Amino acid sequence: MTESFGGILTALATPFDESGKVDDTLLRRLVDRSVDGGVDALVVGGGTGEFTTLSEEERLHLFDVVVEHTAGRVPVVAQTGAITTSAAIRLSRAAERTGADVLMLSLPYYEPLSPGEVRRYITEVAGSVELPIMLYNNPSTTGVNMDAGTLAAFGREIENVRYVKDSSKDWEQALRLIHHHSDDIGLIMGWDSYSFSALLEGATGVMVGAANVVPEEISAVARAIRAGDVATAREEWRRVYPVIDAMLAVPFVQAVKAGLRLRGEPVGAPREPLEELAPEDVASLEAALNALYR
């Protein structure tokens, strides 16, 4: 499945029931919502999925449920990065056994790693599995930016490092990855508002939290670009961008869950200490959604 990997990847939210436990029924519905909406892959246990609030057992459970319910309809990416190398290896091996297609590897957060520590962490975790690895470059949470040259070197030197989700918001870095290093590592753009531009420039794919809320509309953008119909892609993007903009203007995890509730697909509240989106922010998001569907 990974030979044609790319396109629109939904960064799945994690549904919780009223007691705060993972809600498997709602998770399966969320999987179907994205797959039926035309996305190309699903990402489970990432930042939009609140992985930092989940226990290791809960993360493994998410992998099991999503892989089983997706049932090969689209590839599943399991985010297996952790604070320690040993935990990341455990999660990665478990996700591989479960049947994930790709592993996404975030760096440890809180204490920024040195370049040597970054290399050792990635090398050891990637070497513990056979699945393709997608590195996750997110400097705002890790304190470390892996630049284009560093990422390309990982792609050349570590056999199963194939992709990078880049959430640095550095457009010049994205362009360098696409135009200078695409033979070494495939770019998965990790910032929703850059999705249209990244796909036009030739990115392997885009990982979009907003695809939980508007999967059909975002998938339509990618389909039109693949078909070479840039005018249609631009028009589809013009329609959906205000929703993405409204979501990025407020706390994003909360915005995804509020957006799903507004679309009639509630997935519960964020896990504490996160609070639900403020009423005025919900109103702004609702206005953007109403404009899209009027």
Q: Which sequence positions are flagged as catalytic? A: 136, 165
212 contacts 260 by C-beta, under 8 angstroms: yes
Q: Whose CA is closest to 124, among 101, 97, 93?
A: 93
Backbone angles phi, psi at 13, to 5 degrees: -70, 160
Buried b (16+ CB within 10 A) or exposed e, 106-136: bbbbeeebeeeebbebbeebbebbebbbbbb
How far is C-alpha 229 from the geometric centre of its chain's CA atoms? 26
Give CA separation, 143 vs 110, 133, 216, 237, in Å.
8, 21, 34, 32
Cβ distance 23 to 15 under 8 Å? yes
In the block, residue with structure tokens 């050349």: 156
